[in-house]
Structure 1
Amino acid sequence: MTFSQQPVWDAPWRFDPVRRSSGSGFVIKGKRIMTNAHVVSWAKQILVHRYQDPRPYLARVKFIAHDCDLALLEVEDESFFSGLEPLKFGDLPKVRSTVVTHGYPAGGEQISYTRGVVSRIELQNYVHSGNRSFLTVQTDAAINPGNSGGPVVQDDLVVGVAFQGMPGLENTGFFIPPPVIHHFLKDIEDGFYGGFPMAGIRVVPLQNPAYRRYLRLPDNDLGARVDSLLPIAATEKLIQLDDVLLRVGKYEVASDGTVLYEGNRVSASAAFQTAQRGESLSLKVWRQGKETDISLPMNVYEGDRSVGNQYDVLPRYFVYAGLVFTPLSLDYMKTLGQGWRDVANAELIYELYYRRSEAQDSTRTEPVVLASTLAHSVNANFKISNHALVDKIDGVRIDKLEDVVRAFESTTNTHHVIEFVPNHAFETLNRVDAEAAQAEVLKTYGVPKDRRL
């Protein structure tokens, strides 16, 4: 049982009411409980129960991996583990083989066992992070709310951790397979979870025979073209656009951008995910008519953090004259409602998802939006609607939240001019009136501090 509390991203000094939720878990070696990260995220208190034992035991998060949706808990009272045998892990199950999910889904209090068949193995988006895809196993065994974190078993060995379903589809559940689990467990051996590293390389199929002959590629159906690169220093130094990726580690890259991973044809991204942070991967690329070997350092990439769901960090903000400024993020966009993609400004969508890859020269380090307006006489005639992207303040381009603070606090002009995207729409504030109203606005709306930077 998890008692959790999340911040409110368009009123960042506030928190939602405490929420009660439940999930499943299982004991592994080292007196640890494995579960999903989303089961214990934002937890204020965690209570765990043994099967058929009415007593609750206090637990706490030891390690949590929000990218791959895994977590390890430790229990304060070690008697919890008395008589329990830790489960052992097996290998990646075969397609069409049978597995059994164990857990406590909604609708009852007792443990549930559901048998199913492995139907697909491929990379899928992990909903908890929102912007990371990893190896995933699909099964027709029921995986419902409450099943999350429970073991998926085959021949008495754990071959996965149940973690998500597919809205609108029946008999479709997904579990996290052993390669992802083992990567997580190896990562934390140093007492710290660093995360899955990224190469920052996107490849596209290279199957046009004429183009392959033009590049003088061997006639072996290997190699996919490098289409774009993330701004990762090592990658930009060693990899070039239009390189043809032939091999990643021990995996040959086919012309459709896939590799054969333990008998399954999956995206080449799976090969990059075999490396731990700080390690290097050996790559083979085709460049200027010949093969080139590259040793690519692999490190964690945080540049797209705002594009995914954020955890363990409070939203940053600045309040001035009742105007609430906050960095543009997926979490903020979701405050627009479930259908936020249909109602959000096109400029915000582009800034959040596309500018980073399409127009790096004009990319802002941290785009800032007008999140909300705390009504007061000082901003009574402010005509710009909330959710607008801030372009400039007093002529200074806003690249990050600290720029907003600096712009407002460093000028001696009688008025502030705030410009927004698009079309250079602007509004003004009387500086003296704004500064005089600051304390009253904060008190009226119960804002404890005007900023969290």
Structure 2
Amino acid sequence: MKTRPCFTLMGRACLALALSFCPLMMVNAVAAETSAAPSASALENSVVKVFSTLRRPDPYKPWSKAAPQDVTGSGVVIDGRRILTNAHVVGYASQVQVQANGSGDKIPATVLAISRGMDLALLKLDDDSFFDSHKPAPRANVLPDVRDAVLAYGYPLGGTSLSITKGIVSRIEFVPYRFPASGLRIQIDAAINPGNSGGPVIAGDKMIGLAFAGAQNAQNIGYIIPNEEIELFLREQAAGKTDKDGEGKPAMFDVTQTLENPALRSLLKLGKNVEGVVVMSPLKKDAGYPLKEWDVITHIGDSAIDNQGMVKLNANSRVRFQYRVQQVASHGAVPLTLVRNGAVMKVSLPVSAQRPMLIGDLQGDYPSYFIYGPIVFSRGTAEFLASASSNATTLAAMSFYGNPLVTRRGDAPDAAREELVVIAAPFFPHKLMTGYSNRFGAVVQSINGVPVRSLAHLVTLLRDQTDELLTIRFDQHGGETIVVPRKEMLAATESVLTDNGIRSEASPDMLKIWQEKTPAGK
């Protein structure tokens, strides 16, 4: 089931939609008031509305940014004179402001830390005196139980004042968030709508988590990030670690499957007393790697794994066994008990927060690019693939032609190829491209016969070329090969930039490589 982030675009909710939400919010707000704890007013005082102006990247015009978007979400005051909210509310923000409940003033804020993987962010305010009258919401130090009553605080569309909706905890699971991060997720049936993102969810008189998404095409399904995940994020932030440092939550990336099938168990000669998961694809094939194909993992730390790959969370809940990694990992490794060829053994498995991908994501950065004559080169990223991923016809065509953006979607980088280099935009109009079809989205294979490993490598190859002609081949069957005169391409670059109002021929990182050595004839 797909989930949708629950910030809202300002000005886009029509009056009819706003009115359709008002009765539900009013009823829920009344219900909340009748059962509120004595500290309800203090809790309400800790909830803020977050206003952000976002300038997201434009992967198809990597030299520019997408048009500004004004969005709103929610946030909550926490210890340390900070405000906690969702990453998707403030990611790529050029401006952030917060507004307290019942206040007409907006206070400028700055993003202090962000975890895009777990969708969490911390804000600090320009006016620190705000926290003198707005105290932190107390946080529970244990998970709620299924059926516990909850109140969701926030600023969803349909009105401008604080909304409070009532529900119960429906389930607790360990699920993927944003690759490669996974974490606990609490499902509640309280209404979670666009604008609720970053608002606290309260059980009793303490916060149990942060609202972040609702399920698409479903009713009464909302999701919150529990305090356990929030505390991990805060500890990482206190230690000065970020997603880009390769730090964060440790995880297992080995592929396993359940042991429910009798034939599979028979093949492995497992007795009825052996439960766990079977390793189908170890992360590494090295001889020294602790896991091998067909190993059966029976315990992670002291926690027994059942035949569905689950471990006990509490008396009423089970979650995927990978949840225990973040609890038992020490010095970059987790202890496992496994059965291999009938023998029980204990191993120490290396774990990390990152899994390098041939097609990665921007991790909050803007795309790198290089413009050479009428051609724009960039990296193949998840963001670049986003449009194609939602179009079945485009995906089918890319697959048919063997475009690596599709055929190598889940591959890891290697020595031969660190990343994919793509034609990031249609060719700019120019006589040098006469007779060539649009190569937008094609992956560059080689320059004058030299395989391209990365965007930086491509820039280096173009920089150091002395041949009169450049031959650009693409990594797909049925694709054209482009041959262009090198000196004319160099000469055309400036006019292309001027004609299209582009400030620089390259992003700062690629421009530094291009300028390290002046190519002959330039």
Task: Map Cα deviations across residues 65-97 of structure 1 (whole Å, 9 max, x no partner).
Answer: 111001111122221012333112222222222
Deviation at 1:45, TM superposition (A): 1.7
Q: Indicate the residue corresponding to 1:31 in structure 2.
A: 81
Q: Indicate the residue corresponding to 2:272 in structure 1.
A: 219
Contact 2:180 2:353 (C-alpha < 8 Å) held by counterparts: no
Distance of aligned partners of 1:15 and 1:77 in 2 relative to their CA distance in 1, 3 Å threshold = same
Equivalences for 1:83-122 in 2 at 5 Å? 83-90=133-140, 91-122=142-173
1:211 and 1:4 map into 2 onto residues whose CA distance is 51
Amino acid at match of 2:468: T
1:362 and 1:196 map into 2 onto residues whose CA distance is 27
1:30 and 1:232 map into 2 onto residues whose CA distance is 45
Deviation at 1:17, TM superposition (A): 2.2
Equivalences for 1:251-330 in 2 at 5 Å? 251-263=303-315, 264-274=317-327, 278-304=331-357, 306-308=359-361, 310-330=362-382
Q: Structure 1 unaligned runs (5+)? A: none
Deviation at 1:250, TM superposition (A): 3.0
> Which of these residues, 202, 209, 217, is aligned with residue 262 of structure 2?
209
Contact 2:139 2:206 (C-alpha < 8 Å) held by counterparts: yes
2:190 and 2:145 map into 1 onto residues whose CA distance is 15
SS of aligned partner of 1:113? strand
Q: Structure 2 unaligned runs (5+)? A: 1-50, 511-522
370-379 vs 360-369, which moves further: 360-369
> Which of these residues, 234, 238, 241, is aligned with residue 185 of structure 1?
234
Amino acid at match of 1:170: Q
Equivalences for 1:64-75 in 2 at 5 Å? 64-75=114-125
Contact 2:54 2:91 (C-alpha < 8 Å) held by counterparts: yes
Q: Indicate the residue corresponding to 2:436 in structure 1.
A: 382
Q: Indicate the residue corresponding to 1:446 in structure 2.
A: 501
Deviation at 1:374, TM superposition (A): 1.6
Amino acid at match of 2:146: V
Task: Map Cα deviations across residues 204-258 of structure 1 (whole Å, 9 max, x no partner).
Answer: 112333443443434225121112233598x972222222111112322222222
2:318 and 2:359 map into 1 onto residues whose CA distance is 31
* CA radius of gyration, larger in: 2
Q: Indicate the residue corresponding to 2:44 in structure 1.
A: none
1:39 and 1:282 map into 2 onto residues whose CA distance is 37
> Which of these residues, 407, 421, 424, is aligned with residue 461 of structure 2?
407
1:232 and 1:448 map into 2 onto residues whose CA distance is 47
Contact 1:285 1:293 (C-alpha < 8 Å) held by counterparts: yes
101-110 vs 370-379, which moves further: 370-379
Equivalences for 1:424-435 in 2 at 5 Å? 425=479, 426-435=481-490
Deviation at 1:14, TM superposition (A): 0.3
TM-score, normalised to structure 2's length? 0.79
1:59 and 1:170 map into 2 onto residues whose CA distance is 34
1:22 and 1:130 map into 2 onto residues whose CA distance is 25
Matched, 1:230 2:280: no
Contact 2:150 2:169 (C-alpha < 8 Å) held by counterparts: yes
Contact 1:334 1:340 (C-alpha < 8 Å) held by counterparts: no
SS of aligned partner of 2:289? helix
Amino acid at match of 1:215: L
Distance of aligned partners of 1:387 and 1:277 in 2 relative to their CA distance in 1, 3 Å threshold = farther
Contact 2:198 2:211 (C-alpha < 8 Å) held by counterparts: yes
Deviation at 1:60, TM superposition (A): 1.2
SS of aligned partner of 2:62? coil
Q: Indicate the residue corresponding to 1:246 in structure 2.
A: 298
Q: Indicate the residue corresponding to 1:147 in structure 2.
A: 196
Task: Map Cα deviations across residues 14-35 of structure 1 (whole Å, 9 max, x no partner).
Answer: 0122221111111111211111
Give me the CA root mean square deviation: 2.4
1:341 and 1:325 map into 2 onto residues whose CA distance is 25
Deviation at 1:385, TM superposition (A): 2.7
1:218 and 1:71 map into 2 onto residues whose CA distance is 48
Matched, 1:173 2:222: yes
423-432 vs 343-352, which moves further: 343-352
1:277 and 1:420 map into 2 onto residues whose CA distance is 45
The count of corresponding residues between Structure 1 and Structure 2 is: 445
Task: Map Cα deviations across residues 374-427 of structure 1 (whole Å, 9 max, x no partner).
Answer: 221122322243111222221111221122213323332222111112126312
Distance of aligned partners of 1:305 and 1:120 in 2 relative to their CA distance in 1, 3 Å threshold = farther
SS of aligned partner of 1:55? coil
SS of aligned partner of 2:491? helix
Q: Indicate the residue corresponding to 2:56 in structure 1.
A: 6
1:80 and 1:131 map into 2 onto residues whose CA distance is 36
Distance of aligned partners of 1:93 and 1:214 in 2 relative to their CA distance in 1, 3 Å threshold = same
Q: Indicate the residue corresponding to 2:183 in structure 1.
A: 134
Contact 2:250 2:332 (C-alpha < 8 Å) held by counterparts: no
1:216 and 1:48 map into 2 onto residues whose CA distance is 61
Deviation at 1:335, TM superposition (A): 4.5
423-432 vs 196-205, which moves further: 423-432
Contact 2:418 2:453 (C-alpha < 8 Å) held by counterparts: yes
> Which of these residues, 87, 92, 96, is aligned with residue 42 of structure 1?
92
Task: Map Cα deviations across residues 409-449 of structure 1 (whole Å, 9 max, x no partner).
Answer: 33322221111121263121122221221221122222222
SS of aligned partner of 1:273? helix
Task: Map Cα deviations across residues 133-189 of structure 1 (whole Å, 9 max, x no partner).
Answer: 322111221111110000011011111100011222222111111221122122223
Q: Indicate the residue corresponding to 1:353 in structure 2.
A: 409
Contact 2:274 2:298 (C-alpha < 8 Å) held by counterparts: no
Contact 1:63 1:192 (C-alpha < 8 Å) held by counterparts: no
Amino acid at match of 2:406: Y
TM-score, normalised to structure 1's length? 0.91
2:329 and 2:124 map into 1 onto residues whose CA distance is 24
Contact 2:180 2:354 (C-alpha < 8 Å) held by counterparts: no
1:410 and 1:147 map into 2 onto residues whose CA distance is 53
Distance of aligned partners of 1:138 and 1:318 in 2 relative to their CA distance in 1, 3 Å threshold = same
Contact 1:183 1:276 (C-alpha < 8 Å) held by counterparts: no
